[in-house]
């Protein structure tokens, strides 16, 4: 089902404003339009290869070209192999009459693969705690700023927690997002204890009944093991102050790194309780197909995609809409 921002967050009160179906539909169309625009590079890459494939009768060549096109779009070797094998079998059974049916079925299969779980963030009694984790430079801090903007636009109260204390610059960057979105930032000095600043943030959020706390974390420490231990400690701290926290742990991935990013992502999913993916930097890459590989290989829902550096450049993810945008 296609959706827009208004049904991304489930709350006790009805999140969807039914009195404004026209406005909601218009917003959804806007999201779809922007997604299509931002996927143009991937679409071009796929299209060149596919056009030749989708006409005429199917033969060995068809499947080879299709495989090549999908791999070029970074759908990933194993996902590509399984999807193409399935199409080949269906064609052999006589279930696919021509190019149009083939492409329709391809979209269906890819969308099925990219659809994991429910794409929505389950909103709990205040505060809902969202942690952003991931490799340095993938887009965590930027995504947090954009998310703050989304929540503020919904009239929610938000507190940002600068628990990436690795450098002064990291803290300043979050503060800039705080100013931009009218959101308070709880921080400590560079080199400070991330769990201590998280503790402070959650205590004040609880006292003030803040709707959301979004926690920035470091993407690197002196060793990878240190980083994972630190994230683990932060999770325990969060849990002690707010039962069930963090309610959502978003792994932020960089779309331009394609399959390499998947390798790095696994380390986080193994040790830091990731519940969803944000794929940043989808603008300007021809590797948009990586969404399909991520869903399949990590088994986690993609929640949002980042399509630029500005506050409004975060879009809710819908598997079908996304895959359709790759082709048409
Ligand atoms: P972090 O180290 O994970 O916190 O990553 P940052 O949020 O600092 O982002 C690293 C760089 O990527 C910055 O220059 C951001 O402006 C840029 N960036 C983040 N998200 C996007 C996006 O969706 N599109 C583009 N084009 N750039 C992005
Ligand atoms: Mg950062």
- Nearest bound ligand to CA 253? 1
Ligand 1 contacts (CB < 6 A) are 134, 136-142, 173, 219, 252, 280-281, 283, 306-309, 313
Let me know whether 90 and 135 are in one domain.
no
Q: Does the residue 119 lie in any domain?
A: no
Let me know whether 150 and 78 are in one domain.
no
Average the pLDDT over 242-254 and give the result: 94
Which residue of 148, 163, 280, 282 sits with most ligand 1 atoms within 8 Å of its CB, as the best mutation to test the pocket? 280
pLDDT at 18: 46
Average the pLDDT over 301-317 and give the result: 92
- Which of 289, 220, 278 shows the shortest CA–CA distance to 252? 278
Residue 251 pLDDT > 60? yes
Residue ID of nearest Cα to ligand 1 atom 13: 139
Let me know whether 109 and 140 are in one domain.
no
Let me know whether 106 and 136 are in one domain.
no
Q: Per residue in 217-231, pLDDT tens?
A: 998 866 788 889 999
pLDDT at 198: 98
Question: Cα–Cα distance between 168 and 262 in angstroms, integer?
Answer: 29
Q: For the chain, what is the mean pLDDT?
A: 87
How, if at all, do strands 248-254 and 302-306 pair? unpaired
Q: Does the residue 123 lie in any domain?
A: no
User: Which atom of ligand 1 is found nearest the CA of 307?
Assistant: 23
Question: Cα–Cα distance between 154 and 116 in angstroms, integer?
Answer: 26
Question: Cα–Cα distance between 127 and 219 in angstroms, integer?
Answer: 24
Question: Cα–Cα distance between 265 and 231 in angstroms, integer?
Answer: 14
Let me know whether 180 and 83 are in one domain.
no
Q: Does the residue 215 lie in any domain?
A: yes
Let me know whether 101 and 133 are in one domain.
no
Question: Cα–Cα distance between 248 and 213 in angstroms, integer?
Answer: 11
Q: Does the residue 138 lie in any domain?
A: yes
Q: Does the residue 60 lie in any domain?
A: yes
- Nearest bound ligand to CA 268? 1
Q: How confident is the model at residue 152 (pLDDT cuts 50, 70, 90)?
A: very high
Q: Does the residue 328 lie in any domain?
A: no
**Of 114, 149, 172, which residue is a domain's last?**
114
132, β-bridge pairs? 216, 250
Global confidence as pTM: 0.89
Let me know whether 107 and 161 are in one domain.
no
Region of residue 225 (phi > 0: left; psi between -120 and 50: alpha; otherwise: beta) = alpha
Let me know whether 226 and 282 are in one domain.
yes
Structural domain including 72 reads 6-114
Residue 5 pLDDT > 50? no
Q: Per residue in 81-111, pLDDT tens?
A: 999 999 999 999 988 888 888 888 999 999 9
CA dihedral over 234, 238, 240, 241, signed as positive or negative? positive
- Which of 191, 103, 203, 117 shows the shortest CA–CA distance to 159? 203
Q: Which helix (H) or strand (E) holds 249?
A: strand 248-254
Average the pLDDT over 10-22 and give the result: 47
Question: Cα–Cα distance between 197 and 203 in angstroms, integer?
Answer: 10
Look at the chain and report how many structural domains it folds into: 2
Which residue of 39, 133, 135, 139 sits with most ligand 1 atoms within 8 Å of its CB, as the best mutation to test the pocket? 139
Task: Measure 163 CA to ligand 1 centroid, in angstroms.
Answer: 17
Q: Compute φ and ψ for 273, nearest 5 degrees.
A: 60, 40
- Which of 151, 187, 76 shows the shortest CA–CA distance to 311? 151
Q: Does the residue 120 lie in any domain?
A: no
Let me know whether 36 and 87 are in one domain.
yes
Per-chain residues with Cβ under 5 A from ion ligand 2: 140-141
Q: Does the residue 47 lie in any domain?
A: yes
Question: Cα–Cα distance between 149 and 212 in angstroms, integer?
Answer: 12
Q: Per residue in 135-148, pLDDT tens?
A: 999 999 999 999 99
Instruction: Residue 205: give its domain's CATH number.
Output: 3.40.50.300
pLDDT at 12: 33
Let me know whether 134 and 207 are in one domain.
yes
Question: Cα–Cα distance between 168 and 158 in angstroms, integer?
Answer: 22
- Our CA dihedral for 226, 230, 233, 238, rounded to 10 degrees, sits at -170
pLDDT at 55: 67
How, if at all, do strands 128-133 and 248-254 pair? parallel
Let me know whether 39 and 69 are in one domain.
yes
Instruction: Residue 96: give its domain's CATH number.
Output: 1.20.120.140
Let me know whether 157 and 88 are in one domain.
no
**Of 114, 140, 162, which residue is a domain's last?**
114
């Amino acid at each position: 089902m296609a959706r827009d921002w208004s049904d991304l967050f489930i709350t006790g009160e009805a999140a969807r404003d039914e009195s404004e179906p026209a406005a909601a539909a218009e917003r959804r169309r806007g999201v779809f339009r922007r997604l299509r625009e931002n996927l143009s590079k991937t679409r071009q890459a796929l299209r060149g290869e596919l056009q030749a494939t989708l006409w005429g009768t199917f033969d060995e060549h068809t499947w080879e070209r299709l495989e090549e096109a999908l791999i070029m779009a970074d759908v990933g070797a194993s996902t590509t192999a399984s999807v193409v094998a399935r199409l080949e079998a269906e064609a052999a059974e006589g279930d696919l009459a021509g190019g149009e049916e083939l492409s329709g079925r391809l979209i269906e299969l890819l969308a099925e693969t990219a659809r994991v779980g429910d794409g929505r963030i389950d909103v709990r009694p205040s505060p809902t705690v969202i942690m952003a984790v991931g490799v340095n430079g993938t887009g965590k801090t930027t995504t947090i700023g954009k998310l703050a903007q989304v929540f503020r636009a919904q009239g929610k109260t938000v507190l940002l927690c600068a628990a990436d204390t690795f450098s002064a610059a990291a803290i300043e960057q979050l503060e800039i997002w705080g100013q931009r979105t009218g959101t308070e930032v709880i921080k400590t000095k560079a080199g400070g204890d991330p769990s201590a600043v998280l503790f402070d943030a959650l205590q004040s959020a609880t006292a003030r009944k803040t709707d959301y706390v979004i926690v920035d974390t470091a993407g690197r420490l002196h060793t990878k093991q240190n980083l994972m231990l630190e994230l683990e400690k932060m999770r325990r701290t969060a849990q002690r102050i707010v039962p069930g926290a963090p309610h959502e742990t978003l792994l932020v991935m960089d779309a331009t790194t394609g399959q390499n990013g998947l390798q790095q992502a696994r380390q986080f999913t193994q040790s830091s309780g990731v519940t969803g993916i944000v794929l940043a930097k989808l603008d300007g890459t021809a590797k948009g197909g990586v969404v399909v590989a991520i869903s399949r290989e990590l088994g986690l829902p993609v929640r949002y995609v980042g399509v630029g550096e500005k506050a409004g450049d975060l879009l809710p993810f819908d598997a079908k809409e996304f895959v359709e945008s790759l082709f048409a």
